[in-house]
Amino acid sequence: MGFGSKWVGWMWSCVSSAKFSILVNGVPAGFFPNTRGLRQGDPLSPYLFVMGMEILDVLIRRAVEGGYLTGCNIRGGSRTSLNISHLFFADDTVVFCEANKDQVSHLSWILIWFEAASGLRINLAKSEIIPVGEVEEILEMAAELGCRVGSLPSQYLGLPLGVPNRASSMWDGVEEKVRRRLALWKRQYISKGGRITLIKSTLASMPIYQMSIFRMPKSVAKRVEKTQRDFLWGGGNLEGKVHLVKWDVVCSEKFNGGLGLRRIATLNRALLGKWVWRFACEKDNLWKQVISTKYGQEEHGWRAKKASGAAGVGVWKEIMKESEWCWEKLAFLVGKGSKIKFWKDRWCTETPLSQCFHHLFVLAVHRDATIEEMWDQHSGQGDWNLVFVRDFNDWEMDMVGDLLLTLRGHRPSMEDDSVIWRQGRNGRYRVKEAYRLLDKPNAIEFPARRIWVDKVPTKVCFFAWEATWGKVLTLDRLQIRGISSGSSRNCKGDSYLLEGLICREEKEKDLEIHSVVYFLDCLEGEE
């Protein structure tokens, strides 16, 4: 790789001088040297591992160039194709080849050469050969590599591989993780404040990784949300407790009267929309090359063409369903201007110039021209070269003046064109901001700042939140629901003393906020 002998000597000293010891009953039992592999926790090991994998990358590429391996050819509507021979991610490797003995034998020799050159060894116990379709002599090929035979569907990087896109079975693993986690909390008493924290940090976060690329079916989303509801109101036992507040309200922001939990379907849309943003921003990433080859790109390469009919992969079709609302919140940042249309793209106003100045757009000669084509850099310091089909009438001059005023201060530069997320602070797509955009909050005023106070325990704030909504289970409400309470005998009289206090009435932003807090005054009495 071009490293000098001195540098190689340093690395060899670091690797070869390491020794290990094992604690037997808490006492080190001697030291022994390592023979191969990389040490965990060593900051040098990841860099050496990447260099070692570079050897495997070169070997596979040369095998493809020599015709010993074919890889996987991806073809789209045009005649262009993209060949993918292998994928590396950390210590996971996927190699594509034809299902015949010759190519499998060549791959086996490549792995042997890689082990000899790098000092690393392939873990054949964790490796498998996965045939696509009916493949003859698959057992002989697996014996050639020394691994087992796998099948689709399978798992890769924690995601299902080869499962139908809309199948509910794809999400069985996620639901099983949720059930296992709830089993750990089943015997514990957890306050409602603690349940909110656990839902946000654990139950709601478990499906996010898979939802970032797949659309969750509605039936699965309902089951997962039902689990969250039951845990919030019933605890780890998921008993049939009363759900005091509607789930739509619970999933609202705190300043809108909710608990700040997230609706799964809306969060799923926000996660999928990020791929639309990434396609517009990223240039030469492999995943974008695959999508561009498969579906093609629209003019200037900002978007992928939509797949129509039965053609195309269902995963990308679901992602493209979020492209419309996502592009409504994107704008162009002008660089050279060679990829941005002057009239039809959003770059200097909230809407395209064709909508802001529709009358002038109709009169324009070059309606599809880019900013670069509309900029005349030869006229002094540069100026806009606006050409129309006829001269303007007197009543049209004001519109022309407004257009020139809008264009003032905007001019191309030598940088590349890019897109920005208009809803964010720094121009970058954030799932949190996209979720708020897609969410439809309750149009109410809620005294959230007086309820969710930092120094007050969350369980107390939760009770105040229930009371503000008037949902505390007092005796009269239990009787309305047909639930009898044997604890009334401990109170003076036949029922609880229910009092309503108007805590505060303030005028804020010309709106009067009334916060009614109900509380129970239960006095000890004789049985």
pLDDT in tens, 465-499: 988 888 887 777 777 777 665 554 444 444 343 33
Q: Identify whether residues 313 and 211 lie together within a single domain.
A: no
Under 8 Å between Cβ of 304 and 443: no
Q: Which of 394, 412, 435 is the last residue of a domain?
A: 435
Is 163 among the domain residues?
Answer: no
Under 8 Å between Cβ of 279 and 485: no
Spatial CA neighbour of 297 closest among 460, 484, 114, 76 = 76
Q: Kindly tell me the sign of the dihedral angle through the C-alpha atoms of 405, 407, 410, 412.
A: negative
Calculate mean pLDDT across residues 56-81: 88
**Structural element, H or E, at residue 179:** helix 172-185
Tell me the C-alpha distance between 56 and 111, whole Å: 8
Q: Which of 379, 402, 435 is the last residue of a domain?
A: 435
Q: Identify whether residues 194 and 297 lie together within a single domain.
A: no
* Residue 506 predicted with pLDDT over 50: no
Q: Identify whether residues 11 and 80 lie together within a single domain.
A: no
Tell me how far apart the 2 most distant CA atoms of the chain are, in Å: 99
Q: Identify whether residues 199 and 263 lie together within a single domain.
A: yes
Tell me the C-alpha distance between 95 and 89, whole Å: 12
R_g (Cα) of the chain, nearest Å: 32
pLDDT of residue 30: 80
Confidence of residue 342 (pLDDT cuts 50, 70, 90): very high
Q: Identify whether residues 288 and 429 lie together within a single domain.
A: yes
pLDDT of residue 473: 77
Is 344 among the domain residues?
Answer: no
Q: Identify whether residues 57 and 121 lie together within a single domain.
A: yes
Is 67 among the domain residues?
Answer: yes
Confidence of residue 510 (pLDDT cuts 50, 70, 90): very low
Tell me the C-alpha distance between 475 and 468, whole Å: 17
Is 54 among the domain residues?
Answer: yes
pLDDT of residue 485: 56
Tell me the C-alpha distance between 145 and 126, whole Å: 12
Q: Which of 310-319, 366-375, 453-462, 493-502 has the lowest mean pLDDT?
A: 493-502
Calculate mean pLDDT across residues 394-423: 90
* Residue 515 predicted with pLDDT over 60: no
Strands (E), 167-264: none
pLDDT of residue 442: 67
Q: Identify whether residues 224 and 294 lie together within a single domain.
A: no
Which two tokens mark 401? Answer: 């003046």
Q: Identify whether residues 2 and 121 lie together within a single domain.
A: no
Percent of the chain at pLDDT above 70?
Answer: 86
Calculate mean pLDDT across residues 331-340: 92
Q: Identify whether residues 176 and 312 lie together within a single domain.
A: no
Distances (CA, A) of 339 to 23, 150, 196, 217, 345: 64, 46, 47, 37, 10
Q: Identify whether residues 120 and 184 lie together within a single domain.
A: no
Confidence of residue 441 (pLDDT cuts 50, 70, 90): confident
Confidence of residue 107 (pLDDT cuts 50, 70, 90): very high
Q: Which of 89-103, 149-163, 219-233, 499-513 has the lowest mean pLDDT?
A: 499-513
Calculate mean pLDDT across residues 30-51: 75
Q: Identify whether residues 285 and 241 lie together within a single domain.
A: no
Is 244 among the domain residues?
Answer: yes
- 511 φ, ψ (degrees, to nearest 5): -125, 130
Confidence of residue 503 (pLDDT cuts 50, 70, 90): very low
Which two tokens mark 377? Answer: 């850099």
Structural domains in the chain (count): 5
Calculate mean pLDDT across residues 513-520: 35
Domain, as residue range, for 66: 45-125
Confidence of residue 197 (pLDDT cuts 50, 70, 90): confident
Q: Identify whether residues 459 and 488 lie together within a single domain.
A: yes
- Convert the pLDDT of each residue in 254-297 to its tens digit: 888 889 899 999 999 999 999 999 999 998 899 999 998 888 88
Confidence of residue 526 (pLDDT cuts 50, 70, 90): very low
Helices then strands, each counted (H, E), the chain: 21, 16
pLDDT of residue 38: 62
Mean pLDDT computed over every residue of the chain: 83
Terminal Cα distance for the chain, rounded: 88
DSSP state of 462: H
Tell me the C-alpha distance between 482 and 478, whole Å: 6
Chain centre to alpha carbon of residue 121: 34
- Convert the pLDDT of each residue in 385-405 to its tens digit: 899 999 989 898 999 999 999
Under 8 Å between Cβ of 394 and 400: no
Percent of the chain at pLDDT above 90?
Answer: 35
